[in-house]
Amino acid sequence: MAAVQRIVIENCAIATVDADDTEYASGHVVVAGNLIESLGAGRAPEGLENVVRRIDASGHLVTPGLVNTHHHFYQWITRGLATDHNLFNWLVSLYPTWARIDEDMTYAAAQGSLAMMARGGVTTAMDHHYVFPKGSGDLSGAIIRAARETGVRFTLARGSMDRSEKDGGLPPDFAVETLEGALAATERTVDEHHDASFGAMTQIAVAPCSPFSVSTELMEQGAELARRKGVRLHTHGSETVEEEQFCKELFGMGPTEYFESTGWLGEDVWMAHCVHMNDSDIAAFARTKTGVAHCPSSNARLAAGIARVPDMLAAGVPVGLGVDGTASNESGELHTELRNALLINRLGAHREAALNARQALRLGTYGGAQVLGRATEIGSLEAGKLADLVLWKLDTLAHASIADPVTALVFGAAAPVTLSLVNGKPVVENSRLLHVDEDAIARSTRAEAQRLARIAAQG
């Protein structure tokens, strides 16, 4: 058996985001194979064998890799549209275009979304894909292929919609699946692609889209399917005031009550947004350990409101961060969400006490790992965990005069990524992706965006 190879990173600040928020002003991390072998203050131990790379990381901060908990990759090719709409009007405006996507478009859009996140420090990505037009090809396979090529850890939340305009939903009739078809395709995706093992690079979740695009039968049977298969559940919840009104008119109850009635609260569930939550809603999420994907930029872009993140955290609700689709967050970067989560929550009731820099970093790392059900593997720098970590350069003009490195990372400009490891393997070096061609992706995404616009214009 070949001896395990080691990477040694030294002379850097370290924010472990472990249970004690342990930090080192100048420390080291030793990576052995795909695991963190050791870390601590000062230089690495002498006499380490098979060191294939030793990095002097002076002027850098090492953190766990960022974990994205909500996204819609396909929207990369519809950025910059409907920029002055609220959620419902935005959806009505864009659904007819999204319903024209095909496999080539979806693959290119996934490449663009993944590339932008990875070069900004994301080591675990997820995609909630729920648009499957008839005859559009293997969309799930295309997305998973793009993630594998980029080199990031990945969760595909296989979405679905079966409530169209004729049933009182928002999507056009030709954009949805049947109940039976959605369930069968979701189960097939789990069977073909889900890896439940420690260190898995690809996992699948069951993810009907939202209460206003999905029947109650699909919610209930989707939950049954997920639990039978032992995978997680994901959907949108409590995003807008209009959604709450919709649920009360259609189901006679608010979103959280509806989710509980359909089996959609539990420690294997996480919801995107959760902006409009009252005290009893938060208590229900805390009691059941239902997770939340907080998407501050998208919520602001669509004027959805300010999620009560400080109250959720105080109650014990697991909370991670999400980019959301890039038709409502055109930057497509998760590291900007660290800053935006902190700033936007300070506009709420808790003001300057809402979140601090270390809480924001925890949302984007360990919180995300909790929400995806992978907190024993990723999300903090600890011996025995997977070697998913990021080396942020903080000694340039943008950050050098900020004494505290975590404050520099969260409050400051987007920091360059000198090195990003996923499973112990370099994915980004000096802010450039190693496994895919960014310039080629930029060209292909532009071409596919233009092709989709032409097809949509033809009706």
**pLDDT tens, position by position, 89-99:** 988 899 889 99
State the pLDDT at residue 366: 98
Pairing of strands 202-208, 153-160: parallel
Q: Which two tokens stand for residue 284?
A: 């229900």
Q: Does 347 lie in the same domain as 320?
A: yes
55, pLDDT greater than 90: yes
Q: Indicate the number of domains in the chain.
A: 2
Beta pairing partners, 321: 68, 294
CATH of the domain at 117: 3.20.20.140
Residue 36 CA to residue 382 CA, distance in Å, equals 7
The two structure tokens encoding residue 351: 């003001």
Element housing 54 (H / E) = strand 51-56
pLDDT at 246: 85
Q: What's the whole-number mean pLDDT along residues 175-188?
A: 95
Of 145-154, 239-248, 347-356, 373-382, the poorest mean pLDDT is in: 239-248
| Residue 456 reports pLDDT greater than 80 | yes
- Residues 363 and 386 grouped into a single domain: no
Tell me the per-residue pLDDT of 140-176, one tens digit each, with 9 for 90 and over.
999 999 999 999 999 999 999 998 888 877 777 777 8
Q: Which distant-in-sequence residues (6+ apart) come within 8 Å of 169 by Cβ?
A: 161, 163, 176, 212, 213, 214
Whether residue 156 is found in the same domain as residue 50: no
Q: What is the distance between the alpha carbons of residues 66 and 378, in angstroms, rounded to a whole number? A: 10
Specify whether 292 is located in the same domain as 178.
yes
pLDDT digits (tens, 9 = 90+) for 405-432: 999 999 999 999 999 999 999 999 999 9
Q: How far is CA 435 from CA 53, 119, 144, 202, 371, in A?
A: 19, 11, 15, 17, 28
**pLDDT top residue among 3 and 349:** 349
pLDDT band at 206 (very low <50, low <70, confident <90, very high): very high
Domain boundary among 318, 351, 371: 371
Residue from 148, 146, 151, 123 nearest 386 by CA: 123
pLDDT of residue 211: 85
DSSP 8-state symbol, 44: P
Q: What pLDDT does residue 174 have?
A: 76
Single out the residue of 175, 174, 98, 110 nearest to residue 140, CA to CA.
110
Residue 331 lies in a domain: yes
Question: In this structure, are 119 and 202 located in the same domain?
Answer: yes
Average pLDDT, the chain: 96
Helix axis angle, 103-119 relative to 438-457, nearest 10°? Answer: 140
Other beta carbons within 10 Å of 168:
11
**Per-residue pLDDT at 154:** 98
455, part of any domain: no
Q: Residue range 209-227: average pLDDT? A: 95
Find out whether 43 and 9 touch, Cβ atoms under 8 Å. no
410 and 342 Cβ atoms separated by less than 8 Å: yes
Q: Are residues 117 and 164 in the same domain?
A: yes
Q: What pLDDT shows up at residue 172?
A: 77
- Strands (DSSP E) along 132-287, which ranges? 153-160, 202-208, 232-237, 269-273
Which candidate, 259, 269, 334, 306, places its Cα nearest to that of 71? 334
**Does residue 441 fall inside a structural domain?**
no
Place of tokens 């002076």: 58
Query: Residue 392 pairs with which residues in a beta bridge?
Result: 61, 417
51 and 163 co-located in one domain: no
DSSP designation for 396: S
- Of 68 and 2, the structure prediction assigns the larger pLDDT to 68
| Residue 148, number of CB atoms within 10 A of its CB | 14
> If pLDDT is split at 50, 70 and 90, which confidence band does 191 have?
very high
Verify that 216 and 298 share a domain, yes or no: yes
* 88 lies in the same domain as 18: no
Do the Cβ atoms of 255 and 211 come closer than 8 Å?
yes
Instruction: Identify the pLDDT of residue 1.
Output: 60
Pair 170, 309 in one domain:
yes
Pairwise pLDDT comparison (175 vs 284), residue with the higher score: 284
| Structure confidence by residue, pLDDT tens digits, 232-260 | 999 999 988 888 888 898 899 999 999 99
Residues 420, 316 share a domain: no
Tell me, what CATH number does 30's domain have? Answer: 2.30.40.10
Q: Which domain holds residue 29?
A: 6-64+380-433
Percent of the residues in the chain that have a pLDDT greater than 90, as a whole number: 90
Residues 391 and 332 in one domain: no
Residue 453: inside a domain: no
Question: What is the value of pTM for the model shown?
Answer: 0.97
Beta-strand runs (E) in 114-254: 122-129, 153-160, 202-208, 232-237
